[in-house]
């Protein structure tokens, strides 16, 4: 008799007994101690949840009147994330409405052991916001600004709100957020969970550090308010916690008066010099915004910007002369000379010219420039990023290191990029650390040895309509991340399919401590369970 069996309905005794792998466990290795040196025996591309008990769970949700959408059309929208390499389909989708609704959802999920994957803007790159079965909770349903306090300079908003929508509301009061990812559809909640880096992070820190207090629904369904003073332990875990210890439903953030910014660009032909200058500016608090964006590794752009004329004047007086970069015209001459001597590299020169023609005007669009100053930087940058760097797939492995290791990390990562892609962009930025938030940084993108500043570099291949296999991207990412293991760095994007690196960079002791905390907080391991552990 022929056998039909599926993971759900086994109609035959299998000869091979395969014990289920509990989330978070690292298996022993019967192969050999030296096999896959340093790589932990951990499945990083999660198995699709088998759907056991789904119908009971659906019935439980119905009795507590939580609306659940099932079916291919409702779920198919969430098939992948911005990375576009991991595909998964939830069994059902819940659109977030309130903390109370999320609490009911989590209580039912905990009781029926149904995994819940939370998604904000879906801008993860490693499948962290992709549900491999179970429920997908779409936070974009909770996107209201609740209260703006122009006196105290704070805002309270629901966590599913996108930063640019928040910026729009704040502008009505002539306010602005401190720092946020340069990306139109990243949500506040998602950002606080992972960090959030802006071109002013070298001065103001990451977005997660501007949160004053949060309303969190814990994995067991309690609605809890937390801050540095109230439930500080939960606050420490939820901030930069990669969604492991609760769902952020509301957040109070620090804000500031709105200012347009005055941009300056300097051009370098050496990554090393550009990074040295960037770090010099950051150390001396010489600018309000600073970052590096490359066109190629021999055409590096250091951007510097200011909120006020005084700061700009002080920079011009004290620091500008110390920068070793060229202006646009000087650099054009320099490059012309470079390629005149190397005519066989004419394709590179053409690419540079083409990028200059396409990208530069994007940062000077008249509708965002007034009196030489840029307004709405988040829109300008996000637009440019998606139009000229992004594509259907955002594959952006990164390295985050302490200031002194940074140059080496970028140079080594750059060598990897060269091997895998013809064209790519590097984006480097500093992140000011808050000494009082040291506990927040544990097991996060902030490397343990960073003091004062951490530095991050994203390595972004220009996909340009090309179609690559997930495999090709994976080996590229592995090659970059291996540099991080070697150098004792950390990563911004270490979750999802890259989680195999977490134990390699942080060590088992720290990860197991966090895993124990996770198990206490989330006994059924349902909340974003495939992301970190």
Partner 1 sequence: MRSVDVVIVGASLAAAAAAKRLVDAGLETIVLERKELPRHKICSGILSPRGHRFLLENFGPLPRETLHEPTSCRGVTFHFPSMVSMPMDFFGGSTPHLHRKYSDHWAIQRSGAEVHDQTSFAGLEDKGDHVLVHARQNGEPVEYRARQVIGADGPSSLVVRAVYPDYTKQIPWFFVGQKFHEIIECPLDTDYFHFWFHPGLGHYTWSHARDGRQIVGVGFKRGDNFAKKHAVVQQYLQDRHGVHLQPAGDDDEGCAENFGPSLINRYVFGKGNVLVTGQAAGFLNMIGEGMSCALHSGAISGEAIVEARLRNRPVQEMYRRMIASEVRRCTDQWNPVKIALDKPHEADFPEALMALSWRDRAKVLRDMWRFIVLFKEFKWGRQMARAALQRPLLGGYSMQRWL
Contact residues: partner 1, CB under 8 A: 1-7, 14-19, 21, 26-32, 34-37, 39, 41-48, 50, 72, 75, 79-80, 86-89, 132-133, 392, 422, 466-472, 497, 500
Q: CA dist 131 to 88, 118, 126, Å?
A: 5, 8, 12
Beta bridge partners of 293: 301, 427
356 or 472: CB nearest partner 1? 472
79 or 332: CB nearest partner 1? 79
362 or 482: CB nearest partner 1? 482
CB of 15 to partner 1, least distance (A): 6
271 or 498: CB nearest partner 1? 498
**CA-CA distance, 5 to 16, in Å (whole number)?**
14
14 or 340: CB nearest partner 1? 14
CB of 9 to partner 1, least distance (A): 9
357 burial level (CB within 10 Å; 0-12, 13-18, 19+)? exposed
Helix boundaries (H) for 342-376? 346-359
Angle, CA of 150, 155 and 160, to the nearest 5°: 155
CB of 395 to partner 1, least distance (A): 13
* Residues near 192 by beta carbon (within 8 Å), at least 6 away in sequence: 159, 207, 208, 211, 214, 238, 239, 240, 248, 251
Q: Do residues 142 and 159 make contact, with C-beta atoms less than 8 angstroms apart?
A: yes
403 or 485: CB nearest partner 1? 485
CB of 132 to partner 1, least distance (A): 6
171 or 345: CB nearest partner 1? 345
CB of 438 to partner 1, least distance (A): 33
CB of 501 to partner 1, least distance (A): 12
CB of 391 to partner 1, least distance (A): 12
Assign 3-class secondary structure to 468-505.
Answer: CCHHHHHHHHHHHHHHHHHHCCECCCCCHHHCHHHHHH
CB atoms within 10 A of CB 433: 20
Tokens of 505: 């960079």
**CA-CA distance, 90 to 109, in Å (whole number)?**
14
CB of 140 to partner 1, least distance (A): 20
Q: Do residues 83 and 394 make contact, with C-beta atoms less than 8 angstroms apart?
A: yes
Closest CA to 242 of 442, 476, 30: 442
273 or 475: CB nearest partner 1? 475
Beta bridge partners of 136: 93, 117
Strands (E), 258-366: 262-268, 289-296, 299-306
CB of 81 to partner 1, least distance (A): 12
4 or 329: CB nearest partner 1? 4
């Amino acid at each position: 008799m022929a056998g039909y069996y599926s993971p759900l309905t086994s109609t035959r005794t299998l000869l091979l007994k395969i014990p289920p792998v509990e989330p978070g466990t690292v298996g022993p290795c019967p192969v050999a101690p030296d096999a896959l040196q340093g790589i932990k025996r951990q499945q990083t591309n999660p198995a699709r949840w088998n759907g056991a008990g789904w119908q009971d769970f659906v019935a439980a949700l119905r009795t507590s009147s939580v609306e659940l959408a099932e079916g291919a059309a409702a779920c198919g929208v969430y098939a992948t994330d911005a990375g576009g390499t991991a595909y998964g389909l939830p069994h059902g989708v819940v659109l977030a409405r309130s903390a109370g609704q999320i609490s009911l959802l989590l209580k039912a999920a905990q009781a029926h052991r149904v995994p819940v994957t939370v998604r904000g803007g879906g801008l993860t790159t490693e499948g962290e916001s992709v549900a491999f079965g179970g429920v997908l909770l779409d936070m974009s349903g909770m996107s209201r600004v609740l209260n703006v306090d122009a006196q105290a300079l704070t805002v309270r908003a629901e966590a599913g709100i996108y930063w640019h929508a928040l910026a729009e509301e704040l502008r009505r009061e002539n306010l602005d957020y401190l720092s946020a990812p340069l990306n139109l559809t990243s949500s506040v909640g998602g950002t606080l969970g992972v960090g959030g880096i802006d071109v002013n992070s070298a001065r103001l820190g990451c977005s997660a550090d501007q949160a004053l207090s949060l309303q969190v629904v814990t994995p067991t369904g309690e609605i809890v308010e937390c801050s540095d003073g109230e439930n500080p332990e939960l606050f420490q875990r939820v901030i930069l916690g990669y969604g492991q210890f609760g769902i952020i439903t509301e957040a109070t953030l620090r804000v500031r008066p709105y200012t347009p910014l005055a941009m300056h660009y300097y051009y370098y032909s050496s990554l090393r010099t550009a990074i040295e200058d960037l770090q010099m500016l950051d150390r001396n608090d010489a600018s309000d915004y600073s970052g590096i964006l490359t066109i190629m590794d021999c055409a590096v752009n250091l951007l510097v910007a200011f909120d006020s004329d005084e700061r700009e004047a002080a920079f011009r007086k004290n620091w500008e002369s110390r920068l070793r970069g060229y202006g646009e015209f000087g650099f054009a001459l320099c490059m012309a000379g470079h390629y005149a001597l190397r005519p066989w590299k004419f394709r590179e020169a053409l690419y540079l010219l083409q990028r200059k023609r396409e990208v530069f005007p994007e940062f000077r669009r008249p509708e965002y420039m007034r009196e030489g100053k840029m307004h709405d930087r988040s829109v300008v940058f996000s637009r440019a990023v998606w139009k000229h760097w992004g594509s259907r797939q955002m594959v952006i492995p990164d390295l985050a290191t302490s200031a002194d290791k940074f140059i080496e990390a970028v140079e080594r990562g750059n060598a990897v990029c060269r091997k895998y892609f013809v064209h790519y962009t590097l984006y480097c930025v500093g992140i000011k650390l808050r000494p009082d938030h040291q506990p927040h940084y544990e097991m996060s993108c902030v490397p343990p040895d960073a003091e004062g500043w951490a530095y991050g570099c994203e390595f972004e291949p220009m996909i340009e309509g090309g179609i690559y296999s997930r495999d090709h991207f994976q080996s590229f990412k592995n090659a970059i991340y291996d540099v991080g293991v070697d150098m004792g760095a950390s990563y911004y994007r270490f979750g999802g399919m890259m989680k195999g690196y977490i134990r390699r960079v942080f060590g088992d002791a720290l990860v197991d401590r966090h895993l124990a905390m996770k198990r206490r907080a989330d006994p059924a391991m349902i909340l974003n369970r495939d992301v970190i552990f």
